[in-house]
């Protein structure tokens, strides 16, 4: 494997850090309150792992409001190194707002955030990145008009020579990028081609490979598979698993329980800004996640409403919805 470079920019950014150490929390207690975990406390929100290490990233009772919209209300979540935490929820559930808080884009209105057990409050995404939190935003992951290899390095290009003779090592950079993308099963013929000419899946791959290469401890992927076909989704999911086996804490946001279940270790379900549930893999099943996501009761209600319509086509739709409400997965 190609060795990641030491990132001098990131080291500098961290030297201004003024955070304090968090008090240690005894295992079996909820860190937020110091009380013994309630029976409802699941492994998915548990602040400590079995090996006693602090989570890579944690939020406690976080809320975020946009005017009168409660985008998030009382969210508690801990993500751990070497695990994939899936955040599931419908449109407007608050998933992107949550990851924007974790990646320093928004600051929470209530609650606190901890990085490796220390309270943190990021002033912006640059500070979160300097801590090793890399976020792949679905739309803003790459710069379309820039070549693929420049996108991969984005200002962190390797250099050769010293002082006045220092210059960008273009050949070296292209070789590294090719090797890293090859690991994701992507064989790029021309590293100079612009990112805009790549497919959606290939673009995701460039953004994910970059985040992993530059040593992200926490890798956040916001709906990386939502615009992709089966094969490319498969490639992204394979990379999620690879990032986990490299010891990263991965946060994988998706609408799709079929993508989440096979790769996830923990599952957090959001609904209208609130936590609907949090489960370790052993505590749930694909069927349960699907039925929670589909909102079985809501589908049934919608089906009843449509059945009252006179249009025969609507009645057909109503039947299909009723069937879906009763047969999850
Ligand atoms: N910057 C903002 N200003 C005002 N309201 C916002 C802002 N960002 C999000 N919201 C609102 O907060 C709620 C949660 O939005 P969010 O984007 O987090 O949902 P989501 O789960 O990511 O949805 P999707 O699956 O559609 O991406 C929505 O009602 C949204 O309109
Ligand atoms: Mg979103």
How confident is the model over 3-22, as a mean pLDDT? 37
Q: Is the distance from CB of 62 to CB of 112 less than 8 angstroms? A: yes
For residue 24, the SS3 value is coil
Neighbours of 279 (CB within 10 A): 21
- The finding on whether 100 has its CB within 6 A of some atom of ligand 1 is no
In what helix (H) or strand (E) does residue 61 lie, and over which residues does it extend? strand 57-66
For residue 241, the SS3 value is helix
Q: Provide the pLDDT for residue 99.
A: 93
What are the phi and psi torsion angles at 204 (to 5°)? -60, -45
Q: Provide the pLDDT for residue 128.
A: 92
CA dist., res. 74 & res. 112, Å (int): 10
CA dist., res. 83 & res. 244, Å (int): 6
Neighbours of ion ligand 2 (CB under 5 A): 95-96
Q: Provide the pLDDT for residue 14.
A: 34
- The finding on whether 295 has its CB within 6 A of some atom of ligand 1 is no
Q: What is the pLDDT of residues 111-134, one digit of tens each?
A: 999 999 999 999 988 899 889 998
pTM above 0.85, yes or no: no
- The finding on whether 264 has its CB within 6 A of some atom of ligand 1 is no
Non-local (6+) Cβ contacts of 50 within 8 A are none
Q: Is the distance from CB of 97 to CB of 64 less than 8 angstroms? A: yes
CA atoms within 13 A on the CB side of 250: 30
Q: Provide the pLDDT for residue 325.
A: 63
Percent pLDDT > 70 in the chain is: 77
- Say whether pLDDT at 329 is over 50: no
Q: What is the pLDDT of residues 200-257, one digit of tens each?
A: 777 777 888 888 787 789 999 988 887 777 877 888 888 888 889 889 999 999 988 9
Q: For the chain, how many residues are written?
A: 329
Q: What is the pLDDT of residues 244-301, one digit of tens each?
A: 988 999 999 998 898 999 999 999 999 999 999 999 999 999 989 988 887 656 666 7
Neighbours of 306 (CB within 10 A): 19
CA dist., res. 130 & res. 106, Å (int): 16
- Say whether pLDDT at 16 is over 70: no
- Say whether pLDDT at 49 is over 80: no
Map out the domains of the chain with their CATH numbers.
Answer: 54-285 (3.40.50.300), 295-329 (no CATH)
């Amino acid at each position: 494997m190609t060795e990641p470079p030491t990132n001098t920019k990131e080291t500098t950014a961290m030297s201004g850090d003024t955070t304090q150490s968090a008090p240690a929390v005894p295992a079996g207690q909820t860190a937020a309150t110091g009380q013994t975990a309630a029976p409802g406390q699941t492994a998915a929100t548990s602040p400590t792992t079995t090996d006693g290490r602090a989570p890579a990233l944690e939020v406690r009772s976080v809320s975020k409001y946009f005017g009168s919209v409660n985008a998030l209300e009382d969210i508690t979540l801990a993500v751990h190194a070497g695990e994939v935490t899936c955040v599931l929820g419908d449109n407007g559930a608050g998933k992107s707002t949550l990851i924007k808080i974790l990646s320093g884009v928004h600051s929470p209105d209530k609650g606190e955030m901890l990085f490796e057990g220390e309270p943190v409050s990021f002033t912006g995404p640059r500070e979160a990145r300097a801590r090793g939190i890399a976020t792949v935003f679905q739309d803003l992951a790459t710069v379309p008009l820039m070549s693929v290899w420049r996108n991969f390095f984005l200002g962190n290009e390797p250099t050769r020579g010293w002082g006045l003779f220092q210059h960008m090592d273009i050949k070296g950079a292209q070789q590294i990028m090719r090797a890293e993308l090859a690991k994701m099963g992507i064989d790029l013929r021309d590293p100079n081609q612009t990112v805009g000419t790549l497919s959606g899946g290939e673009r995701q791959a460039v953004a994910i490979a970059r985040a992993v290469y530059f040593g992200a401890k926490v890798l956040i992927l916001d709906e990386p598979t939502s615009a992709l076909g089966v094969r490319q989704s498969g490639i992204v999911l394979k990379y999620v698993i690879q990032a986990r086996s490299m010891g990263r804490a991965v946060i994988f946001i998706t609408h799709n329980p079929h993508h989440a279940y096979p790769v996830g270790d923990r599952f957090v379900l959001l609904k209208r800004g609130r936590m609907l549930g949090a489960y370790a893999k052993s505590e749930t099943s694909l069927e349960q996640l699907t039925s929670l996501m589909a909102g079985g009761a809501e589908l049934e209600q919608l089906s009843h409403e449509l059945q009252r319509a006179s249009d025969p086509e609507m009645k057909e739709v109503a039947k299909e919805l009723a069937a879906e409400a009763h047969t999850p997965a």
